[in-house]
Structure 1
Amino acid sequence: LPWTLSIDGSSNLKGSGAGVVLEGPDGVLMEQSLRFAFKASNNQAEYEALLAGMKLAKEMEVQELKAQSDSQL
């Protein structure tokens, strides 16, 4: 069964960041919040969240991953 990676990025005048949730088939949850030290658009923040989530999945030795996002890219 695949793991599920849910991501969401955001950006406003105060900065940008993202949230990452990695859920295993047995219900285990790994959560990460990111605040970027650089200006990023909403789309850039979503992309950075995807990269961070995939890195986390690799560290967890996930073999199959399904990513979901509200991004329209």
Structure 2
Amino acid sequence: MAEVAKEQWIMKFDSSSVENLGGARMVLYHNGEEIVALSFKLEFPCSNNTAEYEAYLIGLATAFEMGIKHLKAVGDFNLVVCQAKGSFSLKETNLALYRTLAQRMEEKFCTFEIDHIQRSENRYADALGSQIAFEGSRSRVEIDK
């Protein structure tokens, strides 16, 4: 696929896990405008950590499929962000495959960075999977199974 833009895109990702079932959400932004918003129900038992990695991988895969070359990922779940940065070691063996897949996806971008943000800065991605109304000028939600 042709390169979408040379400028950096921002991907915000978030997850939820209730009673061992999870949800994954991500939003892609370019030049301050929301371009893609996705929300998924995970139909398998998962922990908070697993659900967060699922959201992260969905976001990376979506950005790659769109032809995005320069990506900054931001999330409010410190474990995934710090493991991606290399500042937290991987202690849960069940997350090893997730971390390996994420590393392979991260390497596909010409430039890639990841940062932690406060939950209050991730309201849109958070609101995609909740009953909380999002206050903003636009919203578009696509649900794929």
Do Structure 1 and Structure 2 share a fold, with TM-score over 0.5? yes
How does the TM-score come out when normalised to structure 2?
0.47
Counterpart check, 1:72 vs 2:85? no
Q: Which runs of 4+ in 1 moved over 4 A?
A: none
Residues 8 and 28 of structure 1: is their aligned pair in 2 closer, same or farther, counting only changes over 3 Å?
A: closer
What are the ranges of 5 or more consecutive residues in structure 1 without an aligned counterpart? Answer: none
Note closer, same or farther for the CA distance 1:26–1:69 as it changes in structure 2 (3 Å cut). Answer: closer
Higher strand share: 1
Query: Structure 1-normalised TM-score?
Result: 0.90
Q: 2:63 aligns with which of 45, 57, 61?
A: 57
Q: % of aligned pairs identical?
A: 38
Moved more, 38-47 or 9-18: 9-18
Structure 1 Cα separation of the partners of residues 20 and 78 of structure 2: 23
Greater RCO, 1 or 2 (C-alpha within 8 Å, sep 6+):
1
- How many residue pairs were aligned? 73
**Which structure: greater helix fraction?**
2
Post-superposition offset of 1:25:
2.4
Q: Is residue 5 from structure 1 mapped to residue 11 from structure 2 by the alignment?
A: yes
Max Rg structure = 2
Cα RMSD for the two superposed structures = 1.4
